Amino acid sequence: MMTHALGRVPSSLTGQIVTPGDRRYAQLRSTYTTSASPAAVLLPKTTAQVVDAIRYAREQRLPIAVRSGGHGFSGASSNNGGVVIDLSMLNRVQVLDERAGLVRVEAGARWANVAKALAPYGLVISSGDYGGVGVGGLATGGGVGWLVRTHGLTIDRIRAVEVVLADGTLVRADAEHEPELFWLVRGAGAGAGIVVAFEIEAAEQRNVGVAQLVVEAHADGRTVREWASCLAQAPRELSAAAVLFAEGRSALMSITAVVAAESLRRVRPVVEPLLAIGKVLEHRTDLLPYPTLVPTAHLHPNVGQQRGTTTNGLFSDLDDAGARAVTRAATGPGRAVIQLRSMGGAVNDVAADATAYPHRHQNTLVIASTFPPQGGAALDIAWRTVGARADGAYVNFESRPNPAAFARIYPGETGARVRRLWKRYDPDGVFRSALLTGQSQRSGQPARSGQPQRSGQPARSGQRSGQPARSGQRSGQPHRRRR
């Protein structure tokens, strides 16, 4: 790879640029899913330094990547030969108004640290399922967390944002000030600029009920159908993730169900219907502090340790045919690891045009992943029938961004508005998404479906899939068990 002679870094960032040869480079060059080789990584500690970092990076005329946590599935948070603006030093969590639950969270914080900081106040933010994920990427794409049916997506609780635009302008946006930018960053923020901080309305919650169960999954799809039906009819306190994977000639479903309740007396009857969807092989229910679900044990350097390819689809209802297709994706040719996420509830209270995440009528998110030596071709085979039935997709679970994915993620008028606003706020295309071009700014090459792409993929471990991780694994993600 040809090297680029970098210009002199501004004095405000002295000591905060990491280049090859620096001892810090090995732990900052890559993401969770891919090894990368940027020309430089900038580590701003303040909003003013983010402004300086953007201006400096643009002067170098190199690709720019922005990273909050480095777990992005598309692989856009590093690059080869470009500049990475790493926000990990902007990680403060501040309770602005305890009574109102208003919290200011900087984009480089990790969700494990957010949960830990809010626990003494009895506050939580529903924010994905893995403590190592950075705030910025998740909170600009959506945020399907352990309390999603109770409190909605993470973006649904955002009340204001602070954004540094591509020209270095700092803008505060909320419902009354810069409402178009505020609309955009809640669901399509990656193409707008660098969101450096969020004001989020947290919810009151100290403990949650956590039920972990493993059931046999019928080949005809009935277990998947009954899981989806059960969640669609459940009280809003219940949210769940399930992982479906082949086990010999049969399949198993590993479920983590989380109940927003402070007593086991309330938790058990809410979970009970899930025990009837198939033969239960394992089951336990506990009352746990919320930070247990996104623990600090998840915090680790990202050095390209997990590769794979992922796609997803949203479903209003999983009927018999759809449930059979989902089951077949896990057990048939391609043998993807399939994850189901509950949606609905509070997510669907929000109008479809209120944010850049328009999918407000679906009840289930289905995610499919393959791991090396399987690549995109195997995933395409496994996913073909399921994908044909899907009704929309979610940006944070797509590892091969291209215009076809854009159309699924931002359909119709939402997509037209996203394109228009990305152009308005970033006219030079500094943060142009591969969703528009089909080309990764990391390498400048189009993604090839037969290649394992760098993709925030779920971890593989010996841990039972779908259970909250206790030792640094991605809880609720489609883990693949060692045989």
Q: Which carries the bigger pLDDT value, residue 178 or residue 457? A: 178
Q: Is the pLDDT reported for residue 23 higher than 80? A: yes
Say how far apart CA 70 and CA 132 lie, in whole Å.
9
Question: Do residues 142 and 155 touch, judged by C-beta distance below 8 A?
Answer: yes
pLDDT for the residue numbered 438: 82
- Cβ contact 181:421 at 8 Å: yes
The stretch 321-335 carries a mean pLDDT of 94
**Average pLDDT of the residues in 460-468:** 34
| Residue 180 in tokens | 């178009």
- pLDDT band of residue 446 (cuts 50, 70, 90) is very low
The CA angle 126-330-295, to the nearest 5 degrees, is: 30
Supply the pLDDT for residue 328.
96
Task: Please give the backbone phi and psi of residue 327, each rounded to the nearest 5 degrees, phi first.
Answer: -65, -40
Query: 440 pLDDT exceeds 70?
Result: no
Q: What is the DSSP letter of 69?
A: S
373-428 pLDDT tens trace: 999 999 999 999 999 999 999 999 999 999 999 999 999 999 999 999 999 999 99
Asked if residues 310 and 368 have their Cβ atoms less than 8 Å apart, the reply is yes
**Does residue 16 surpass a pLDDT of 90?**
yes
* Per-residue CA distances from 432 to 62, 64, 162, 185, 437 (Å): 13, 10, 20, 14, 8
Burial class of 279 by CB neighbour count within 10 A (0 to 12, 13 to 18, 19+):
exposed
Alpha-carbon span 125 to 68, nearest angstrom: 17
pLDDT (tens digit per residue) in 24-40: 988 887 777 788 888 99
pLDDT band at 308 (very low <50, low <70, confident <90, very high): confident
DSSP reduced 3-state for 272:
helix
Task: Work out the average pLDDT over 467-474.
Answer: 35
Is pLDDT at 187 greater than 60 in this prediction? yes
What average pLDDT does range 127-141 have in this prediction?
A: 94
Report the range of poorest mean pLDDT among 315-329, 413-427, 448-462: 448-462
Compute the distance between CA of residue 295 and CA of residue 213 in angstroms, rounded to an integer: 20
Q: Quick check: 189 pLDDT over 80?
A: yes
Q: Which residue has the tokens 């480079």?
A: 25
When mean pLDDT is compared across 78-82, 106-110, 409-413, the lowest value belongs to 78-82
Residue showing tokens 């591969």: 434
- Give the pLDDT band (50/70/90) at residue 460: very low
b/e per residue, 448-475, with b = 16+ CB within 10 A?
A: eeeebbbbbbbbbbebbbbbbbeebbbb
Q: Which residue has the higher pLDDT, 285 or 442?
A: 285
Q: Find out if CATH 3.40.50.2300 is the number for domain 11-86.
A: no
In this structure, the number of other CB atoms found within 10 A of the CB of residue 66 comes to: 27
Residue 324, class by beta-carbon neighbours within 10 Å (0-12 exposed, 13-18 middle, 19+ buried)? buried
Report the distance separating Cα 279 and Cα 75, nearest Å. 39
CA angle 322, 311, 239 (to 5 degrees): 65
Predicted pLDDT of residue 465: 33
State residue 427's pLDDT score. Answer: 97
Let me know: does 195 contact 136? Beta carbons within 8 Å.
yes
Q: Given a cut of 80, is residue 2 above it in pLDDT? A: no
What pLDDT, on the 0 to 100 scale, is given for residue 474? 36
459 pLDDT exceeds 60?
no
**Residue 147 above 70 pLDDT?**
yes
Higher per-residue confidence, 469 vs 89: 89
Strands (E) across 192-331 are located at: 194-201, 203-204, 207-217, 238-247, 250-259, 280-289, 309-315
Which candidate, 118, 115, 48, 28, places its Cα nearest to that of 302?
28
**What pLDDT is attached to residue 4?**
63
Residue 122 CA to residue 115 CA, distance in Å, equals: 10
Confidence bin at 250 (pLDDT 50/70/90): confident
From 3.40.710.10, 3.40.50.920, 3.30.465.10, 3.90.1150.10, which CATH number describes the 93-204 domain?
3.30.465.10
Domain borders along the chain are 11-86, 93-204
User: Distance between CA 291 and CA 204 in Å, rounded?
Assistant: 13
| Alpha carbon distance 210, 231 (integer Å) | 15
Average pLDDT over all residues of the chain = 89
Tens-place pLDDT, residues 153-164: 999 999 999 999
**Residue with the two structure tokens 């810069």:** 178
pLDDT value at residue 3 = 57
What is the per-residue pLDDT for 304? 59
As beta bridge partners, residue 84 has: 41, 65
Residue 297: the pLDDT is: 86
Mean pLDDT value of segment 37-61? 95
Predicted confidence (pLDDT) at residue 456 exceeds the cutoff of 90: no
Contact 152, 133 (CB under 8 A): no
> Does the pLDDT of residue 453 top 80, yes or no?
no
